[in-house]
């Protein structure tokens, strides 16, 4: 019988005496070597789900299995790595000391803990801060340290809660690369995120959760429309008179500094517009066909049926 790194079936979580449902009959499966993006607005139930997966919360009903075993099984715990939304560490320890401490908790001996600490600080781009106390770290640096700590035991399944938040563009690119490297070596990654362009770039499948219910799940290709939405033409040296004339045949014209940006949803008409621009003696700086992005899709789905 085939087992998956993660199988959730009819998971329901009700908080306290008020009977507030944080999750309602949530079901999804994550396959081996998959990078699965877990998306939803604030309060949708993403963090609640992740806390249940690592045993920090007890759920009301349903089932959660990892590698064919129940959550909390000692064999399962040795195969997962977890990064919470806001990782916390002993602030008086350095980054290197922090990872060596967690390494010893995992049963690593002194030399092995030292080597693993150095390896994963380098992996997340923190080698330069190995001897810096964590109390001086920015939020983005703490995020990176949290990921390094989660990698120490060589987990088969990484569970990440908003791993890209608080990072600058360079940091986000580095963490994206780490996630892809983990998948390339046969690991499975399940993570929540609000940074949808990054999710689109690295995920094989995504699930959209809203008000505790899984609204949709599938591959990026299955979800996004293949049809062309708009063609944007950026032009320099276009006179105002020519821009006014062209505006009658395009959907929109806007001016940015010394450029005009013309938009049309008719790809056939775009060819004729380009000819007219050249005839006016203006220069075409770029032509950008635009298709639906994951962010477009997410906003469209969250805005429909009163689900926002």
The percent of residues above 90 in pLDDT, for the chain, comes to 49
Copy the structure tokens of residue 18.
């008020």
Instruction: Find the Cα–Cα–Cα–Cα dihedral 140, 145, 146, 147, rounded to 10°.
Output: 100
Domain residue spans of the chain: 6-223, 228-291
pLDDT in tens, 241-271: 888 888 888 888 888 878 999 888 887 788 8
Of the pLDDT bands very low, low, confident and very high (cuts 50, 70, 90), residue 117 is: very high
For 59-80, what is the mean pLDDT? 89
Q: Is the pLDDT of residue 114 over 80?
A: yes
pLDDT digits (tens, 9 = 90+) for 195-248: 888 888 899 899 999 889 998 898 888 877 655 578 889 999 998 888 888 888
Q: Which phi and psi angles does 144 have, rounded to 5°?
A: -65, -40
Instruction: Name the token pair of 12.
Output: 């329901």
At residue 289, the pLDDT reads 77
Q: Angle at which helices 169-184 and 139-151 pack, to 10 degrees?
A: 10
Alpha-carbon dihedral 100, 106, 110, 116, rounded to 10 degrees: -60
Q: What pLDDT does 2 receive? A: 60
Q: Which residues contact 90 (CB under 8 A, 6 or more apart)?
A: 98, 101, 134
The mean pLDDT value for 180-202 works out to: 90
Identify the pLDDT of residue 308: 42
Beta strand spans in the chain (E): 6-15, 20-30, 35-39, 61-66, 69-70, 80-83, 157-161, 188-192, 205-210, 213-219, 228-236, 252-256, 259-264, 283-291
pLDDT tens string 35-53: 999 998 888 899 999 999 9
Assigned fold of 6-223? Rossmann fold (3.40.50)
Q: Are 26 and 194 in contact (CB under 8 A)?
A: no
Give the pLDDT mean for 117-131: 94
Per the CB < 8 A criterion, the answer to whether 98 and 152 are in contact is no
Q: Look at residue 63 and tell me whether its pLDDT is greater than 80.
A: yes
- Mean local confidence (pLDDT), 7-15: 92
Is the pLDDT at 134 greater than 60? The verdict is yes
- pLDDT exceeds cutoff 90 at 75: no
- Check for a shared fold between 6-223 and 228-291: no
Q: Please provide the CATH number assigned to the domain covering 228-291.
A: 3.30.70.980
Residue 206, φ and ψ in degrees, nearest 5: -135, 155
Report field, pTM of the whole predicted structure over 0.85: no
């Amino acid at each position: 019988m085939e087992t998956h790194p993660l199988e959730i079936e009819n998971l329901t979580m009700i908080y306290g005496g008020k009977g507030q449902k944080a999750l309602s009959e949530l079901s999804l499966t994550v396959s081996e070597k998959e990078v699965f993006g877990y998306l939803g607005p604030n309060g949708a139930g993403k963090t609640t789900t992740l806390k249940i997966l690592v045993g920090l919360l007890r759920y009301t009903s349903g089932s959660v299995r990892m590698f064919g075993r129940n959550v909390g099984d000692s064999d399962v715990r040795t195969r997962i790595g977890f990064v919470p939304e806001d990782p916390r560490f002993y602030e008086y320890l350095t980054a290197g000391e922090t990872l060596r401490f967690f390494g010893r908790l995992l049963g690593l001996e002194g030399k092995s803990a030292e080597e693993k600490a150095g390896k994963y600080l380098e992996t997340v781009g923190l080698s330069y801060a190995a001897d810096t106390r964590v109390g001086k770290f920015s939020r983005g640096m703490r995020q990176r340290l949290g990921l390094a700590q989660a990698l120490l035991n060589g987990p088969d399944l990484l569970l990440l809660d908003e791993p890209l938040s608080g990072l600058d563009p360079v940091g986000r690119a580095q963490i994206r690369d780490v996630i892809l490297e983990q998948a390339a070596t046969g690991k499975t990654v399940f993570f929540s995120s609000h940074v949808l362009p990054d999710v689109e770039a690295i995920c094989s499948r995504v699930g959209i959760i809203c008000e505790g219910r899984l609204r949709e799940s599938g591959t990026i290709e299955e979800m996004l429309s293949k049809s062309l939405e708009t063609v944007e033409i950026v032009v320099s040296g276009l006179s105002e008179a020519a821009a006014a004339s062209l505006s009658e045949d395009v959907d929109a014209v806007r001016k940015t500094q010394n450029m005009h940006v013309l938009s049309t949803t008719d790809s056939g008409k775009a060819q004729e517009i380009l000819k007219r621009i050249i005839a006016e003696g203006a220069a075409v700086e770029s032509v950008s066909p635009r298709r639906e992005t994951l962010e477009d899709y997410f906003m469209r789905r969250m805005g429909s049926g009163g689900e926002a």
